[in-house]
Amino acid sequence: MKPFLFCSAAMAAMALQPISAIAQEERISGGNDLGITAPADAFPEEPGSDYFLANYTQYVAYLNLLEKQSDRIKLVNIGKTAEGRDQWMAIVSSPENLARLDEYRDIARRLAKADDLDADEAKALAAKGKAVVWIDAGLHATETVTTQSQIHVLYRLLSQNDPETLRELDDVIMLFPQDNPDGLELVADWYMRKAKPEEREFGSLPRLYQKYVGHDNNRDSFMSQMPETENANRVMFREWFPQIIFNQHQTGPAGMVVFVPPFRDPFNYNYNPLVMTTLSEVGSTMHSRLVSEDKPGSGMRSVAPYSTWHNGMFRSIAYFHNAVGLLTEIIGGPTPERIPLVPETQLARNDEPMPIAPQEWHLKDSLEYQWFLNRAVLDYASRNRERLLLNIYKMGATNIAKGAKDSWTITPKDVDALEAAAGDAPPPPEDGINPWRARDRVASSLYSELQKPENRDPRGYIIPSGQADMPTVTAFINALIKNGVDVEQATNAFSVEGKNYPAGSYVVKTGQAYRPHVLDMFEPQDHPHDVEYPGGPPKAPYDITGYTLAFQMGIGFDRILEGFDGPFTAVADLVEPPAGKIAGTASAGWLVPHTTNNSFILTNRLQKAGVPVSWVMQPVEAAGREFQAGAIWVPASSKAQAIMAASTAELGVDAFGVSAAPAAETLSLKRPRIGLIDKYGGNMPSGWTRWLLEQYEFPFSVVYPQELDKGNLNNKYDVLIFADGTVPGDEDSLYRAPREGEQPDPKDIPAQYRGWLGEITQSKTVPAIAQFTQSGGTLITVGSANRLAELVGAPVEAALYKQDGNQRKMLDRREFFIPGSLVTARVDNTQPLAFGMPQQVDLFFANSQSFKAKGNGATPVSWFDNATPLHSGWALGQDKLKDTVAVFDTNLGAGKIFMMGPEVTQRAQPYATFKFLFNGMLYGPATAKK
């Protein structure tokens, strides 16, 4: 039957129908009186239809058509994606607002930054300005509801003339970006590749739906390394400053349709509480809108694990920028499914106000929910336009004021200290108020325990120039700038609190609107002790608990507790590292310190050109300075001269010319042939590692299990890297099992991907890897992949377990639980695997394994030397790490196995531990016995 067109009045009426009525219609959107092409007339099939997905190419074509037809939309290209596509954002508002976008953007900026306004000026601007709302789609590309629904949301906003739509267009500037264009194109094309609709699926997708990191594109926000994240953060925190950031996902809780905020605890103590109270308002408005439209099945708080702790996600980074961050998780997809009967979801309660009956569910049903969720957010923003604008100013102004005076951030450790100070002292008199609570009260005078002078928040941070790895310092500064943080740089040398600092040092003051984000990047996280019930096991956090970026990147900085100033100038935009210098006359060659991560780029460029490169194995004095063990030695030649001249300045790497070769022992490096292990469907840690290898210009190939199983690996590779999650877990659960999806039948996928199928097995793969290593190959295992190192015979075993008869068992969570935190370890930087590193480093530890030697041939490189290594995050039983080894250098036959229990390349954030991997790729092949 040919779908019929609705008039605009019928369209509005349809929007109010219950789901059963909508399901009877073949169309989601009808005609209109404004000449706007409906989605059904612009795509091969209407987006939202069963067994159909529109791809990004089709979506962009529709956007361009809409822009030609409507004066309510303006398209903006916000940058390139990882695969080189243009990332488009639709700005929707009234024609009058679109004509004055620069003015309204400036108002939003001034109110959000709050640094050049008083309260009266802010109130006047809020009255004049427009609310700005970000509503995105497609971040996780297999969550197809969001991408298909955005098409209809845009159409309805451009084609409807009802009073609510017109009011929202007048009061709100709406930003509609596509977060992951590459993923949308890949997933939609993959789904549509089969001619028979009932055979379509995207569960067998061959690779990650973001080129490098897949699902982790929603964990990159504070680091902002993927291009799509950088584009989004620039719009949100440097250009448009939305007061509401709505990040849409799926899938919903079992037996329900959609999760909508508010969220469960824990509450991150760094951000302004007005963010959370406003978030609860908006979330309640969304639930109420669904209920009023007869859309049952929404839930909040306890129905899902989502909290507001971690700073790395699109919606959660909003909190640290004084914006309301919304997350919805909805069911649905192009393939029809059923809402199952889950008994506990059938009883109405505060967190599930309107249960839904089990039923068949279609994508267009989810799209109707999405419309009303979007509608609720826009209606809230419209009705609260002035208050949203004024509140973001108030939060920014409050943060600025806090940074200019003594202030304290109360953390769980502070509360523990207060309780300890109270001790067994009797409670204060009941004073007639809530006498039954008297046992829980302590003397008010003990409040001073929470405001000890030494525990004040810093007024700012000084990052001295001249650090051993200034390019990494620059990367840290740029991560802050990408997130809208105000950074200053010293134009001259200066002194603060009796300490001298050189010109070029960076200054980050906490007296700024984005103070919560600043504190979160410099201060240790102190995650609450969150348990399932009193005395029970710890409740798994949503994502990680400790991630302080300054710690992960090994940045040297000083916390300044008093107000300070100096010859500082604002840093206007992203910065380049200080240019490297070549000092002295290189009649014999050059020595390059090993301390800079970028020295590996220089090494790789030299080796690619055939220039010999060596490491000096002991500390040496030359060129008027001392070099730590591992200094890079480059003999003089015309080819070397050209590369040194071109690369040192660009990379921020200093080189020192010498008139004689070093007298100490040197290790001659070879250009390694590197194999990075991946698997069908893609592995995110492997993807992050691939991105790192590309950034640092290492030569490598991606290797899949079928190739490993063929053996003779030494003919093609010198190094094999197994990232976390690339090796199946063990039956004792001492090594985390990766998330495994079912692999497709080879005949169901294109021939080009069939060689990617397969799994690492104990029967075939392990012997091939053992032979590779014993014959001189280098095996690098990270995180859970260290199970492979044990299987091939490394003289090392797991240390974190309990013995149950003849069987090793994982420790109970009550005994040991470190869910993604930073722990401090000792480092022997005289060992080649740790050349260039300091003697102490923060490691990212996510319920990882630590190790102990088993026989000869294992050299500890990094280990835990005390019972309290936690530096940022949450840890139970951390004392069990004491005297265990985090990183081992082991021998096996003629080869090497480098075991790295913690994830030393975790999401490409811990720059301070990259050298473990980088050194291993060069050191192992250089020492292989022939």
Tens digits of residue pLDDT in 229-272:
999 999 999 999 999 999 999 999 999 999 999 999 999 999 99
Asked if the domains 582-668 and 674-741+752-927 are classified in one and the same CATH topology, the answer is no
Say whether pLDDT at 8 is over 60: no
Q: What is the secondary structure of 764-783 as a DSSP string? A: THHHHHHHHHHTT-EEEEEG
Close Cβ partners of 753 (under 8 Å, ≥ 6 residues apart):
206, 680
Instruction: Provide the greatest CA pair distance for the chain.
Output: 89
Say whether pLDDT at 144 is over 70: yes
Query: Lowest-pLDDT range, 426-430, 595-599, 733-737?
Result: 426-430
**How is domain 674-741+752-927 classified at the architecture level of CATH?**
3-Layer(aba) Sandwich (3.40)
pLDDT band of 821, cuts 50, 70, 90? very high
CA-to-CA distance for 523 and 427, rounded, in angstroms?
34
Tens of pLDDT, residue by residue over 800-810, are 999 888 888 89
Say whether pLDDT at 5 is over 70: no
- In a 13 Å sphere around the CA of 518, the CA atoms on its Cβ side amount to 26
Asked if residues 605 and 643 have their Cβ atoms less than 8 Å apart, the reply is yes
CA-to-CA distance for 174 and 156, rounded, in angstroms?
13
Tens of pLDDT, residue by residue over 523-540, are 999 999 999 998 899 999
Q: What HEC string does 695-726 produce?
A: HCCCCEEEECHHHHHCCCHHHCCCEEEECCCC
Q: What is the mean pLDDT of residues 615-637?
A: 96
Say whether pLDDT at 100 is over 70: yes
Tens of pLDDT, residue by residue over 883-915, are 999 999 999 999 999 999 999 999 999 999 999
Q: What is the mean pLDDT of residues 387-396?
A: 98
Tens of pLDDT, residue by residue over 193-239, are 999 999 999 999 999 999 999 999 999 999 999 999 999 999 999 99
Q: What HEC string does 83-110 produce?
A: CCCEEEEEEECCHHHHCCHHHHHHHHHH
CA-to-CA distance for 913 and 902, rounded, in angstroms?
10
Inter-CA distances, 475 with 78, 219, 516, 580, Å: 22, 17, 20, 15
pTM above 0.85, yes or no: yes
Q: CA quadruple 622, 623, 626, 630: dihedral positive or negative?
A: negative
CA-to-CA distance for 299 and 283, rounded, in angstroms?
10
Pairing of strands 719-722, 778-782: parallel
Inter-CA distances, 705 with 680, 689, 701, 787, Å: 9, 18, 13, 16
Q: What is the mean pLDDT of residues 424-434?
A: 57
Quick count: other Cβ atoms within 10 Å of Cβ 208? Answer: 24
The two three-digit tokens of residue 662, written as one number: 């070093």
pLDDT band of 930, cuts 50, 70, 90? low
Q: What is the mean pLDDT of residues 719-732?
A: 90
Tens of pLDDT, residue by residue over 752-797, are 999 999 999 999 999 999 999 999 999 999 999 999 999 999 999 9
CATH of 582-668, one of 2.40.10, 3.30.70, 3.30.200, 2.40.360: 3.30.70
Buried b (16+ CB within 10 A) or exposed e, 459-483: bbbbbbbebbbbbbbbbbbbbbbbb
In this predicted structure, what is the pLDDT of residue 427?
61
Q: What HEC string does 320-377 produce?
A: HHCCEEEEEEECCCCCCEEECCCHHHHCCECCECCCCCCEEECHHHHHHHHHHHHHHH
Asked if residues 720 and 713 have their Cβ atoms less than 8 Å apart, the reply is yes
Q: What HEC string does 433-444 produce?
A: CCHHHHHHCCCH
Q: What is the mean pLDDT of residues 547-567?
A: 98
CA-to-CA distance for 6 and 21, rounded, in angstroms?
15
pLDDT band of 424, cuts 50, 70, 90? low
CA-to-CA distance for 418 and 422, rounded, in angstroms?
6
Tens of pLDDT, residue by residue over 28-76, are 555 577 899 999 999 999 999 999 999 999 999 999 999 999 999 999 9
Share of the chain above pLDDT 70, in %: 95
**How is domain 34-399 classified at the architecture level of CATH?**
3-Layer(aba) Sandwich (3.40)
CA-to-CA distance for 192 and 459, rounded, in angstroms?
56
Q: What is the mean pLDDT of residues 475-498?
A: 98
In this predicted structure, what is the pLDDT of residue 432?
53
Query: Lowest-pLDDT range, 21-35, 613-627, 858-872?
Result: 21-35
Tens of pLDDT, residue by residue over 342-379, are 999 999 999 999 999 999 999 999 999 999 999 999 99
Q: What is the secondary structure of 247-262 as a DSSP string? A: EEE--PPTTSSEE-SP
Topology, domain 455-532+542-570: Alpha-Beta Plaits (3.30.70)
pLDDT band of 708, cuts 50, 70, 90? very high
Say whether pLDDT at 434 is over 70: no
As a whole number, the mean pLDDT across the chain is 93
Q: Where are the domains of the chain?
A: 34-399, 455-532+542-570, 582-668, 674-741+752-927
Asked if residues 210 and 182 have their Cβ atoms less than 8 Å apart, the reply is yes
Closest of 119, 99, 184 to residue 145, by C-alpha: 184
Output 637 or 729, whichever has higher pLDDT: 637
Say whether pLDDT at 336 is over 70: yes
Say whether pLDDT at 799 is over 80: yes
Tens of pLDDT, residue by residue over 405-423, are 999 999 999 999 888 888 8
Asked if residues 106 and 125 have their Cβ atoms less than 8 Å apart, the reply is no
